[in-house]
Amino acid sequence: MPGDVIASGDFRYGSYIEKRGDQYVALRLGLAEVSSDGIRLNPLTGPYLPRVEDQVVGKVIDAPGFGWVVDINSCFTGYLPASFVFGRDFSPATHDLSTKFVVGDIMGARIESFERARDPQLSIRGPGLGKITSGVIIKMSPTRVPRLIGKRGYMVNMVSSLTNCDLKVGQNGVVVVAGPEEGVAKVAQVISMIENEAQGADLTRNVQDFLGGGEQVGSQA
Amino acid sequence: MEAKRRLIDDNGLRLDGRKWNELRPIKMEVGNLKNADGSAYIEFGKNKIVAAVYGPREVHPKHEVIADRALVRARYHMAPFSVDERKNPAPSRREIKISKVIKEALEPAIIVTDYPRTAIEVFVEILQSDGGSRCAGIDAASLALADAGINMRDMVVGVSAGIIDDQVVLDLDDSEDKEGSGDMPVAFLPNLNQVTLLQVDGIYTREKFQKAFELAIEGGRRVYEMQRKALNDKFFGGAPQVVAAEGGEA
Amino acid sequence: MSLMKKNYVVESIRRAQIISLLSQGKRVDGRSLGDMRPLTIKTGVIQKANGSSMVSLGDTQIVAGVKVATGTPFPDTPDKGLLVVNAELLPLSSPYAEAGPPSPEAVELARVVDRGIRESEMVDVSALCITPGKTVYTVFVDVNIMNVDGNLFDAASYAVVAALRTAKMTKYVVENDKVTATTERMPLPVSKTPVSLTIARIGDALVVDPNAEEEASMDARITIATEDDGNVCAGQKGEASFFTPEQVLQAVDTSIRLGKEIRKVIQEASA
């Protein structure tokens, strides 16, 4: 917890850790790992702070004229300029915002820019981005999203193929799952397992066992 | 006119049976409210207090936004049924003053520069009050901040000390506060050893001041151990929080 | 440019999911249309108050406290005590609640709870008189909303009823023309257990005890309170849409039926 000394000595260290003299102090509630590679603190709770290039799932909450205000589950609201969607020649006189997005719509978006004194700007240009029209929304703690994705997407791909579902995972902790009912229910439970991951448990193995995996789609008979 | 009653008897026992350096019974729980980003509940003797944190979140009104750091706000509020005579729900001057003192006790622990242009808001709601509620509120607020996952340099812990019947005692309850001759709430960051709240009520000799102050610090460290346990129980199920991974050493 | 979180916006695909499940008689949290969420009521939680309760209805959490004092009666009702019911939507209860003067929702909540208690005549204010025209008991009921997840009307009502039923006050008598406190403690003059039930209409479906998401998706809402004998003692329709007459009667029947079960829970908690 904040203020705790994790280790003393000489280590490389990552986020949520402060070096005081030769001590490494935690700045956040989390699980610390100490190894020859360095010290890591995996936070257990915490908000989503937007970073440029992050892919997020957002919800339109207002359309004030020149773009859409998008709730990205963060302390800042995102903004999707109409010109990013309609093109450079956008004008409120000739283009109707509601033909693209209305309040309540969900989208996959990328944080295009996040400058001081302005809210993060979003873009929907890119593969897999844009309006999401079907699926079940599942919210999880943003600090646990990396575990859902896994190394180079290993976990999310495994879950997707073993449940026959399509998963859109936002770094902001919003996940949209589309597919057969039982598959969606299983994905919801996997997310729950990830959120409640006990220390030291082999999460990948547990998820694999739960989903009845072992064989991957397309592997040899 | 009634004679003042004795608050501490010849055996050194106070009205509730405690010795001079004993804390009241304390109970702590983390995460009791679903909507808040972080929350905690504390019972400190007869005090029953809920603390909640929302943040970082958008600043309202907008003109109060600070460009390079978070705006920290605290609201200390007593429920109308929390005291002997029903209190009007509108914030009193005393509550506004205590809100400010709580903000100033917690803010030094929060790494506000990690959250520019946002607000971090702490709410301390007193459901039942019995002396020392501002310190108990700070103890709960600190748990709520950790629960919310806000970057902090250290936890914050607080307890009061004071003088009753000319003796220095720890953790004054309501009667001791009202009938005693001095009350000194203290809050500090336990690892960094930085005092962030000090209010001196009453007159102390230099010697008594030091004794009371050090008693408050020592008592605070005991409360800190309970904070640790409360967080540990909620998040780690009692297991240690540092693991050696892949052959390293903690 | 940034929008204040004024209202909870339900995602379109979520709303579609809610409605599609409703057409199959199911709700997103697994309940059927006529199910209430788990209800727990604890009384005597604030010892300094004359009476108190803590109610959890699903994730909606409320603490209510009763304080009794003496005061002067209103000039036009010199022999009746005073009953003041107040509800506060605390800023810590929801990201959409703000500190400061009460919002229209908070004011409506306070008024509906107050009316529900007053019109049911659960507290006999005539029995709260000490000296007509001069001194009466004043009963304050304060409702603190701690966490919002829909259906504040019902949860607040249960909290107030449980707190009033278990409240004890000091008996005052008139001795030598002076109002003095005795050492005797007595319960408040409380006779009934009114039970409120709120039903929301989402499309064509009527759902009992809407949670926050369902409230954000609902078209209209109706709250019906019943007394111990099954009579309707209060009713209120809210939100800017309608109910058909059949739906109104259906709501009344549901309230009478479920009211009996909820009454048992309240009475057990206030035993």
Residue A218 has pLDDT above 50, yes or no: no
Q: What is the pLDDT of residues B208-233, one digit of tens each?
A: 999 999 999 999 999 999 999 999 98
Q: Which residues in chain C have Cβ-Cβ distances shorter than 8 Å to A135?
A: 13
Please indicate if any CB of chain A lies within 8 Å of the CB of B238.
Answer: no
Q: What is the mean pLDDT of residues A2-15?
A: 93
E-only strand ranges, C109-268:
129-131, 135-147, 168-175, 178-187, 195-202, 205-208, 220-226, 232-238
Q: Would you say the C-alpha torsion B172, B176, B179, B180 has a positive or negative sign? A: negative
Please check whether residue C24 lies inside any domain of the structure. Answer: no
A71-84 as b/e, with b when 16 or more CB fall inside 10 Å? bbbbbbbbbbebeb
Q: What is the pLDDT of residues B62-108, one digit of tens each?
A: 899 999 999 999 999 999 999 999 999 999 999 999 999 999 999 99
Cβ-proximal residues to C196 (8 Å cutoff; 6+ apart), any chain: C116, C153, C154, C157, C158, C223, C224, C225, C234, C255
Residue B1 has pLDDT above 80, yes or no: no
Please check whether residue C5 lies inside any domain of the structure. Answer: no
- On average, the pLDDT of chain B sits at 92
Q: What is the mean pLDDT of residues A99-123?
A: 93
Residue B242 has pLDDT above 60, yes or no: no
The DSSP H or E segment spanning A123 is strand A121-123
| Residue whose entry in the numeric block shows the structure tokens 């346990």 | B229
Provide block-wise average pLDDT over 10 residues at a time, chain C (271 residues).
Answer: 57 92 92 95 97 97 97 93 93 88 84 86 93 93 96 96 96 87 93 94 95 94 93 88 94 96 94 81
Q: What is the pLDDT of residues B158-198, one digit of tens each?
A: 999 999 999 999 999 999 999 998 899 999 999 999 999 99
C27: closest CA of chain B, how far (Å): 20
- Subunit partners of chain C (3 or more CB pairs within 8 A): A, B
Q: Do B54 and C69 touch (CB under 8 A)?
A: no
Residue B246 has pLDDT above 60, yes or no: no
Q: CA A20 to CA A17: how far, in whole Å?
A: 10
Architecture of domain A55-132: Beta Barrel (2.40)
Alpha helices in B18-155 (DSSP H): 93-106, 133-147
Instruction: Kindly identify which residue of chain C lies nearest to residue A132, measuring between CA atoms.
Output: C13
Query: Closest to A132 (Cβ–Cβ): which among C3, C13, C17?
Result: C13
Q: Write the CATH number for C79.
A: 3.30.230.70
Q: CA B184 to CA B106: how far, in whole Å?
A: 17
Determine how many CB atoms are found less than 10 A away from the CB of residue A55.
16
The pTM score is 0.92
Q: CA A85 to CA A124: how far, in whole Å?
A: 8
Are the C-beta atoms of A39 and A33 separated by less than 8 Å? yes
Cβ-proximal residues to A42 (8 Å cutoff; 6+ apart), any chain: A30, A31, A32, A33, A143
At A219 the pLDDT is 39
Side-chain-facing half-sphere of C186: CA atoms under 13 Å: 12
CATH entry, A136-210, from 3.20.20.140, 3.40.50.300, 3.30.1370.10, 3.40.50.1220: 3.30.1370.10
Q: CA C237 to CA C108: how far, in whole Å?
A: 12
Q: CA B178 to CA A6: how far, in whole Å?
A: 43
Determine how many CB atoms are found less than 10 A away from the CB of residue B213.
18
User: What's the domain range around C117?
Assistant: 31-263
Q: What is the pLDDT of residues C54-98, one digit of tens each?
A: 999 999 999 999 999 999 999 999 999 999 999 999 999 999 888
Residue to mutate among A57, A60, A61, with most C CBs inside 10 A, is: A61
Residue B3 has pLDDT above 80, yes or no: no
Q: What is the mean pLDDT of residues A63-87?
A: 93
Q: CA A113 to CA A51: how far, in whole Å?
A: 8
Name the residue with higher pLDDT: A212 or A69: A69
Residue to mutate among B154, B157, B231, with most A CBs inside 10 A, is: B154
Residue A96 has pLDDT above 70, yes or no: yes
Query: Closest to B149 (Cβ–Cβ): which among A31, A43, A76?
Result: A43
Are the C-beta atoms of A2 and B146 separated by less than 8 Å? yes
E-only strand ranges, C31-59:
39-43, 51-57
Please indicate if any CB of chain A lies within 8 Å of the CB of C249.
Answer: no
A46: closest CA of chain B, how far (Å): 4
Q: CA C30 to CA C214: how far, in whole Å?
A: 13
Question: B113 by DSSP, 3-state: which?
Answer: helix
Please indicate if any CB of chain B lies within 8 Å of the CB of C67.
Answer: yes
What percentage of chain A has pLDDT greater than the value 90?
A: 72
Which is nearest to C33 in space by CA: C261, C262, C254, C257?
A: C254
Q: Establish whether domains A55-132 and A136-210 are of one fold.
A: no
Query: Closest to B250 (Cβ–Cβ): which among A7, A27, A44?
Result: A7
Query: Closest to C48 (Cβ–Cβ): which among B54, B121, B128?
Result: B128
Determine how many CB atoms are found less than 10 A away from the CB of residue B4.
9
What percentage of chain A has pLDDT greater than the value 70?
A: 94
- On average, the pLDDT of chain A sits at 90
Residue B245 has pLDDT above 50, yes or no: no
Determine how many CB atoms are found less than 10 A away from the CB of residue B229.
12
Q: What is the mean pLDDT of residues A64-74?
A: 93
Ranges of each domain in chain B: 26-235
Question: What's at C119, amino acid-wise?
Answer: E
Residue B239 has pLDDT above 70, yes or no: no
Please indicate if any CB of chain B lies within 8 Å of the CB of C148.
Answer: yes
User: With left for phi above 0 and alpha for psi between -120 and 50, is residue C79 left, alpha or beta?
Assistant: alpha
Which is nearest to B212 in space by CA: B200, B226, B197, B195?
A: B200
C20: closest CA of chain B, how far (Å): 27
Which is nearest to A188 in space by CA: A210, A171, A204?
A: A210
CATH fold of B26-235 reads Ribosomal Protein S5; domain 2 (3.30.230)
- How much helix, strand and coil, in percent to the nearest 5, is found in chain A? 25, 30, 45
Please indicate if any CB of chain B lies within 8 Å of the CB of C38.
Answer: no
Which is nearest to C18 in space by CA: C202, C261, C163, C166?
A: C202
Q: Do A3 and B243 touch (CB under 8 A)?
A: no
Q: Do C17 and A136 touch (CB under 8 A)?
A: yes
Question: B188 by DSSP, 3-state: which?
Answer: strand
Q: CA C71 to CA C139: how far, in whole Å?
A: 10
Q: Which pLDDT band, with edges at 50, 70 and 90, does A76 fall under?
A: very high
Determine how many CB atoms are found less than 10 A away from the CB of residue C28.
15
The tally of domains found in chain C comes to: 1
Q: Is C222 exposed, middle or buried (0-12, 13-18, 19+ CB in 10 A)?
A: buried
